[in-house]
Amino acid sequence: MQQQIALIEDSLKQLHMVQDKESLESLRISLIGKKGLITQAFAQLTNIDKDSKKQVAAQINQLRKTFEQDFARKKEEITLKELEIRLKKEKIDSSLFRANGFTSNGHPLSQMRDMIVDYFVELNFSLQDGPLIEDDFHNFEALNMPKFHPARNMQDTFYFRDSMLLRTHTSPTQIRTMQTSELPIRMICAGPTFRRDYDVTHSPMFHQCEGLVVESGDHISFAHLKHILEDFVKYIFGENINVRFRSSFFPFTEPSAEVDVSCMFCEAKGCKVCSHTGYLEVLGCGVVDGNVFKAVGLEGVSGYAFGMGIERLTMLKWGINDLRSFYETDLRILEQF
């Protein structure tokens, strides 16, 4: 038994020389694991005569207490040392970015926005903008969502006094453009929108891009919309992607559809990301409802509209699984772009 105690004391001396958590855990197992020296020493007490047992048990118990105290101190010491090393490694001096040759193509959301805008500007769409603080008419009423319309419940709106609100989509810019521009209209708008939601796929502030085409007469049809969006989706995700249009409902378009693309994570075979359907929804679209034209005083016209979430396209394009990553300024993510 004295030989066993000597081995335990030698191991305790080694504790002070340990420099990393892996070695520390290995030493812990060798002493108090199922087959550890201290554990075995307690088990062997049954082989000692009664006169010596109490004294030896007290000695072993004291060695165990000493180990537990030294182990806790050593673990804290190693943890603080590793934290110091990590903080030094991750230390950021923004003034050194240029000196260190830091280059960036921009934030991933900015890159996606630029891709979208470049595509439609090449097709002679104008880039429009509108206020972030909107009134009820432009955000809801003119878009065929009168008071008490059930679609309003989907928006989770941030309201101010006097019916003012943070815009819940970029669609009000379409209304303002139709009120102030001459026909024909070919426009897109991109910018931040706001809703009361926050999780891995939703944020209180997010970005949308919407497009609108309006011309005199009734020759603008869903076929025109389908053609341009199929080409746009392949421009974003590649020529090998499959595109489908699925019937849907939006108050401001009729007929309406959601555009799906074949899941790029499982190659349309079905996985957890696409809920085993093989497809992922990327945007909504439709032929502009007549009530929207009536609200802005247009007659004898036809057109189509579409809208998409910039965050969603970015997540799918580059495989980012948490929307909140876009706003945490974590260089480990941002430097990839």
Question: How far is residue 260's CA from residue 246's CA, in Å, rounded to a whole number?
Answer: 7
- List beta partners, residue 243: 261
Determine whether the annotation assigns residue 210 to a binding site.
no
Structure tokens at 64: 């165990």
What angle do helix axes 50-90 and 21-32 make, rounded to 10 degrees? 170
Binding residue ranges = 254
Binding residue ranges for Mg(2+) = 254
